[in-house]
Structure 1
Amino acid sequence: MHLLTRGLAALIVLGICVMLGFLIVSDEGRDPAAATDRTIASRAADPSPLTVAETFPAGAAGYQVEKAVAETDCTVAVTGALRSELSGYGCSQAVRATLAVPDSGYLVTAGVLNLADTQSANAVADRVRALVETGDGSFTAMTGAQIPSGTPVGWRARGHYLLYCVITGPAGEPVPSGEPLLGQITSNLLDDYLSDLVLARRASGS
């Protein structure tokens, strides 16, 4: 009986250890961004405006920053129906830059738009594709000029921000859609730099 009691106790302890191990592994398997992004889920939770120094300092993402501005009028960054979309979803700020891609001659107009909350950023992101494809709305160059039809555009939503980039040739002409460097530039700038560095740093409070 004594041995049976000790055996049952050992099984109970083993079961507890297995359960704790499962919980620890499950927690480690969660996407860390999902937890930290709660701090940038809305402008109410993340009230400090973005700055040029935070978003597009010299050498941002390994590119040459030719010009960078932070503006409270979001409509200067877009054309057509995207203007009403940004106004309707509470855009309060557009931080934009012109970046030169080394050894390619390409120019990138990149920006971060500050929306009211995650739902607003996602809603605008959902509208971008349809508006760009129909020509009813798009993004502008830093000069305010509308980009030519066929210009590659990339965008992402994270937290209450919409990230985008527009890639052109050195004279502002569209880049051929088959150019393999386009995907690399878009991923590097929107995912690796703006999302996984700039916004991740803000989300973590660092």
Structure 2
Amino acid sequence: MKEVLLRTIENVDWITLILCCSIATMVLAKKIYYGRFANFIILPFNNKYIFLYNKKDKLSHWFTIFLSIFQLLNFALFLYYLDSIFHVTQRSTTPFSYMITLGVLIAFFFSKLILHLCNAFVFNIQGAISEFLFKKISYFNYSSLVMFIANILLTYIVKDSKIVIYISVLLIITINTLGWVTAIRNHQKLITNNFFYFILYLCTLEIAPLVLLGDYFKD
């Protein structure tokens, strides 16, 4: 009994460290770029953040980088809990499995980003793709706030709660769907003029990578 208790405390300790690191990145982003943060926090209800910062620095700005770190840390932990609760894979849920998940997500994130930028270079639409990516990443970074709250609840309050997972997934999908709708609406003319390439883009750079990522975690 004592051994089980110690193991549980140890598990919570490493998760607490991950959560503290993610909080630190968010606090740092807020402290250094308060104006950006104030506009970002109301993103689903007001597009001011997109309109103000879509033309400046975009993906390479440190505020976006801080939020992406926050997102990756919490996304990996959310997937860890998803696997732990629903037994999606046959892997044991350990700190090492979390690190593997985090590593795969980082590799996936950068590989997909590079493919997007290469595609933009080939078709000479760097500006449009950069703006499109900024919108998508901004909304996905915002949805990581939902992941963070879910991770807090699953760690300290309602452990192994499927309801928390279901609600969180629904909110994450809703936020990112809103981001997609906003991005498509803002680039409607470009998409209409290049509809075939847009469908090709969806299949090769959006759907296919997600299928491959899903197959990896399933296996």
TM-score (norm 2): 0.26
TM-score (norm 1): 0.27
Max radius of gyration: which structure? 1
Greater length-normalized contact order (CA 8 Å, ≥ 6 residues apart): 2
